[in-house]
Structure 1
């Protein structure tokens, strides 16, 4: 198996530089982790892009939760980010009852047409994961699902993750599974042995929590673990 993909959440250029120094392969850019990660300002994206030479996946979400909220505002922000040079994104929307909001997801996907993107952990809060995957099958640009298998995190979602990995290549399951959400170091050996090859970390590389920066040594420790 090739070297696992290691994605780290970055809020600032300082975070980005520490993640890069520690061996991250890709960054997810967000702001406001009190709301579980919202779209960063265009200026913040530009500063991070100038600071590191890593792929940057930019969150497209303007409100807490998984409903789209101000869709016109979100489309405008996506256009502004693209104009600034953003090439990869993170998105995904549900209705109030947990179904895939296909019109909103399609609208934002069209706004970033030609870009690669991740459907984020909204899948873990959906009423029907299989139906969501089926509805999005073949959508241009969608190459990744960020998921822990459960809204409660990897501990609860391991069986779901393993079941979806077993379907890799089937319709609806062609995208890479990026394991994240409650991911701990002790999960990693078993996940690697099962065949998972992409991992997403946020607070686990911030010794002082979300109020503190990413620690390069902590990132390096995860890199070593993933490459073992």
Structure 2
């Protein structure tokens, strides 16, 4: 089958163009500072009205991967609002003071939900990635881990990510490769069993989030993943 293509969007126009280009799913963010922040509910609502494919908004209220109990109420409120407005699932990632997965906060946000979620690039900042993966695999609702294999992006993390995928088919199914992804990476990752990919700046003119998503650039990635899917099937 073709690989899953997720596009990072900021506006309703981004969402419309990404779907037109062949995206399977969208991750929506608000402010593009640091690791990104949650979109405003009104902006999410407009994006939801502009397309028909699934959208997962980011759950993050400040820069960095740390949070605290004081933000939980606000995050839960956002979850309910996004769900009411048609969110298919969510993207989140929190680390504790030891740079490991913040199990308490993640479970507080996800255990009562009946929706799928993605753990984001926070995993690439974990001091012990093996332990982080072991913890994540036990979490209810998790169906994707967005990772570059390294905090410095896929250029540095490609080999480690391929090795991890090859070590365990279940992990390969969870991985969504993103963070400096270039077309040349796709074949190597696909051969390791990875079939989900995320692009953001790659589908914007000049590689800048100051520009809108370009439908033709999304379509180029769609064609690439479809061709790789045909190769796997053959």
Same fold? TM cut 0.5? yes
**Paired residues, number:** 224
Q: Match of 1:181? A: 179
Shift of 1:79: 2.1
Partner of 2:50: 51
Q: TM-score, normalised by structure 2?
A: 0.90
Q: Is the 8 A contact 1:42 1:81 kept in 2?
A: yes
1:68-217 alignment, distance < 5 Å: 68-69=67-68, 70-110=71-111, 113-169=113-169, 173=171, 175-208=173-206, 209-217=208-216
Pair 1:81–1:219, CA change in 2 (3 A): same
CA deviations 1:91-126 (Å, max 9, x no partner) are 121013312111111111135x10000010100001
CA distance in 1, matches of 2:88, 2:196: 20
Q: Is the 8 A contact 1:179 1:199 kept in 2?
A: yes
Q: CA deviation at 1:175?
A: 4.8
Shift of 1:189: 2.5
> Matches of 1:61 and 1:175 in 2, distance apart?
25
Taking only aligned residues, the RMSD between alpha carbons, in angstroms, comes to 1.6
For residue 232 of structure 2, what is the aligned residue in structure 1?
A: none
Task: Give 1:84 deviation, angstroms.
Answer: 2.4
Give the Cα–Cα distance (whole angstroms) in 2 for the partners of residues 160 and 193 of structure 1.
Answer: 14
Q: What's the TM-score once normalised by structure 1's chain length?
A: 0.92
Q: Distance in 1 between matches of 2:10 and 2:155?
A: 26
Task: List runs of 5+ in structure 2 lacking aligned partners.
Answer: 228-234
CA contact (8 A) 2:9 2:27 kept: yes
Secondary structure of 2:65's aligned partner? coil
Asked if 2 retains the 8 angstrom alpha-carbon contact of 1:142 and 1:175, the reply is: no
Q: What residue in structure 1 maps to residue 221 of structure 2?
A: 222
Consecutive unaligned residues in structure 1, runs of 5 or more: none
> How far has the Cα of 1:146 moved from its partner?
0.4
